[in-house]
């Protein structure tokens, strides 16, 4: 017999439209599954080349629209942001995203969803929703904290007049004293870049105001001051329903290529002592790390003398220190390709996480109660780092100082030496100094659990959102 909850929400049908990049598709996939578990009909709309990212989840429908590579002047097969060279192909990619509007609306006309949940980059989706008289909710996939920072950077432009890239300046108006340097800012916030991209930033900002509301992959207790600030300062309706990946931590299967299968990886972890493994992964940006940098990380991992899992996306092994894999046999695991990150982070043998501060990775690490070593690379990751190290104090900076995406030239960024990496790893994994941080990080595991169970902040916000959408559709 169906549960009463399932019956009561059965009439709601949501179309989810994710941006075509793994860090955006994963949380939307989790969100679609979460809504489906509450009896909502969930359909993800994507392009044929990205269907694989949603496969294996029978509770959601996946509908496709053709990706207009040719019309947008993109090479065939370039259907995902990870296949782009930044930033030269980006304007064409966004042109292709704009061209998706017409086929998307054809699908809406055929399938009659009564709500849209779209990535913030689809600024045209408000117009589509208006055409069909249904609400359009936005999703950016990032924290309240970073959205508040971005909002105030665009509003006050506090970096103007700061002469050097390394000089710190205050981001005004925030609940905490947050300082940044120009080298940590995205070109979008600095407004340095091709006009087409700056216009896009304006369009996204404008579209945000026209959304029915915004869904946030976070939970209230993690960033209460910023959730409140977001609501009051930006005046946008919002619901926090995260951490989305936590709902599916044990059966996350993205079907991506890897040098190890999930069960072998878990078996390897089962043989290790509690909290003895340091996990190192740079998300979908691992492939942007230069061989010389991976080499320094490997030296630090060996010197630490703890167990480790190091995830790399390199095609060759130029970076591997001579004889490393023989020396660390049994103690260290190098995963080439895609790691089952969610399962790894939630294994009791893992004691710390060195991360690039992508918001999904941070939510996964925080909800697993892990202390963090932060190594942001680009996007809003430097802002996320400040939340972890300055506000929550559950992580320590490795010392990355520059956005690696600068004019597409990653060579600009200095290599961080193994001694700096080792210092952060020791602090987090074994050092007496890191004891309080480890304790604080553990408390977030329980806070997350409480937010997600009946009566908790995320659980209640999800219910409130579903009720709101149902009443919209009455």
Strands 168-170 and 179-181: antiparallel
Q: Smallest gap, in angstroms, from Cβ of residue 381 to ligand UPG? A: 5
Q: How many residues interact with ligand UPG (rule CB under 6 A)?
A: 24
Residue in the block written with tokens 């202390």: 371
> Which CB sits closer to ligand UPG, 307 or 367?
367
Q: Smallest gap, in angstroms, from Cβ of residue 286 to ligand UPG? A: 7
Q: Are 332 and 269 in contact (CB under 8 A)?
A: no
> Is 285 near ligand UPG (CB under 6 A)?
yes
Q: Which residues contact 457 (CB under 8 A, 6 or more apart)?
A: 219, 220, 221, 240, 451
Out of 46, 152, 374, 381, the residue judged to bind ligand UPG by CB under 6 A: 381
> Is 57 near ligand UPG (CB under 6 A)?
no
> Is 284 near ligand UPG (CB under 6 A)?
yes
Interface pattern 301-340 for ligand UPG (x via CB under 6 A): ----------x--------------------------xx-
Residue in the block written with tokens 């040098």: 259
Of the ranges 260-268, 289-297, 357-365, 446-454, which one interacts with ligand UPG (CB under 6 A)? Answer: 357-365
Taking the C-alpha atoms of residue 428 and residue 435, their distance in angstroms, rounded to an integer, is 8
> Is 22 near ligand UPG (CB under 6 A)?
yes
> Is 281 near ligand UPG (CB under 6 A)?
yes
Q: Smallest gap, in angstroms, from Cβ of residue 139 to ligand UPG? A: 9
Q: Are 33 and 117 in contact (CB under 8 A)?
A: no
Out of 69, 342, 346, 458, the residue judged to bind ligand UPG by CB under 6 A: 342
Neighbours of 67 (CB within 10 A): 26
What the block records as the tokens of 295 is: 């080499």
> Which CB sits closer to ligand UPG, 81 or 466?
81
Out of 53, 361, 367, 402, the residue judged to bind ligand UPG by CB under 6 A: 361
> Is 386 near ligand UPG (CB under 6 A)?
no
Residue in the block written with tokens 């989790």: 30
Residue in the block written with tokens 């909800």: 367
Q: Are 69 and 79 in contact (CB under 8 A)?
A: yes
Residue in the block written with tokens 């060579």: 411
> Is 359 near ligand UPG (CB under 6 A)?
yes
Q: Are 461 and 239 in contact (CB under 8 A)?
A: yes
Element (H, E) at 466: helix 457-472
Strands 395-397 and 61-64: unpaired
Helices (H) and strands (E) in the chain, counts: 19, 15
What the block records as the tokens of 332 is: 């260290």
Q: Smallest gap, in angstroms, from Cβ of residue 145 to ligand UPG? A: 11
Q: Smallest gap, in angstroms, from Cβ of residue 435 to ligand UPG? A: 27
> Which CB sits closer to ligand UPG, 107 or 197?
197
Out of 13, 24, 33, 208, the residue judged to bind ligand UPG by CB under 6 A: 24
Site for ligand UPG in 122-161 (CB under 6 A): 141-142
Residue 250, by phi and psi: left (phi above 0), alpha (psi -120 to 50) or beta?
A: alpha
Q: Smallest gap, in angstroms, from Cβ of residue 49 to ligand UPG? A: 17
| E-strand stretches of 241-306 | 277-281
> Is 379 near ligand UPG (CB under 6 A)?
yes
Out of 147, 341, 389, 402, the residue judged to bind ligand UPG by CB under 6 A: 341
Binding site for ligand UPG (CB under 6 A): 22-24, 26, 141-142, 245, 281, 283-285, 311, 338-339, 341-342, 358-361, 364, 379-381
């Amino acid at each position: 017999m169906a549960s009463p909850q399932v019956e009561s929400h059965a009439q709601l049908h949501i179309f989810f439209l994710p941006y075509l990049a793994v860090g955006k598709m994963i949380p939307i996939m989790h969100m679609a599954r979460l809504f489906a578990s509450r009896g909502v009909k969930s359909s993800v709309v994507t392009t044929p080349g990205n269907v694989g990212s949603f496969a294996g989840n029978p509770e959601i429908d996946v509908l496709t629209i053709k990706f207009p590579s040719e019309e947008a002047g993109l090479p065939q097969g370039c259907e995902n942001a990870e296949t782009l060279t930044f930033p030269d192909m980006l304007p064409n990619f966004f042109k292709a995203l704009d061209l998706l509007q017409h086929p998307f609306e054809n699908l809406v006309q055929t399938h009659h969803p009564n709500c849209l949940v779209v990535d913030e980059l689809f600024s045209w989706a408000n117009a589509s929703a208006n055409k069909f008289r249904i609400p359009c909710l936005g999703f950016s996939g990032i924290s309240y904290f970073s959205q508040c920072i971005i909002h105030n950077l665009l509003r006050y432009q506090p970096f103007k007049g700061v002469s050097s890239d390394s000089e710190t300046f205050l981001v005004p108006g925030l609940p905490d004293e947050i300082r940044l340097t120009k080298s940590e800012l995205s070109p979008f916030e600095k407004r340095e870049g091709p006009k087409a991209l700056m216009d896009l930033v304006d369009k996204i900002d404008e579209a945000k105001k026209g959304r029915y509301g915004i869904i946030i992959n976070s939970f209230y207790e993690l960033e209460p001051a910023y959730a409140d600030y977001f609501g009051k300062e930006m005046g946008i309706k919002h619901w926090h329903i995260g951490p989305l990946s936590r709902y599916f931590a044990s059966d996350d299967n993205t079907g991506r290529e890897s040098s190890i299968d999930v069960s072998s990886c878990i078996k390897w972890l089962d043989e290790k002592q509690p909290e003895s493994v340091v996990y190192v992964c740079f998300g979908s940006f691992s492939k942007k790390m230069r061989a010389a940098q991976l080499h320094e990380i490997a030296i630090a991992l060996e010197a630490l003398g703890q167990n480790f899992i190091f995830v790399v996306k390199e095609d060759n092994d130029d970076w591997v220190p001579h004889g490393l894999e023989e020396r660390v046999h049994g103690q260290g695991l190098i995963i080439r390709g895609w790691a089952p990150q969610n399962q790894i982070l939630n294994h009791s043998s893992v004691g710390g996480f060195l991360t690039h501060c992508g918001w999904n990775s941070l939510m996964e690490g925080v909800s697993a109660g892990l202390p963090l070593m932060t190594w942001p690379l680009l996007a809003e990751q430097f802002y996320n780092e400040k939340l972890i190290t300055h506000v929550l104090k559950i992580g320590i900076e490795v010392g990355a100082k520059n956005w690696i995406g600068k004019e597409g030239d990653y060579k600009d960024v200095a290599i961080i030496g193994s001694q700096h990496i080792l210092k952060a790893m020791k602090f987090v994994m074994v050092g007496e100094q890191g004891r309080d941080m480890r304790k604080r990080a553990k408390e977030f595991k329980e806070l997350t659990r409480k937010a997600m169970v009946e009566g908790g902040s995320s659980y209640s916000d999800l219910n409130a959102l579903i009720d709101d959408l149902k009443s919209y559709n009455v």
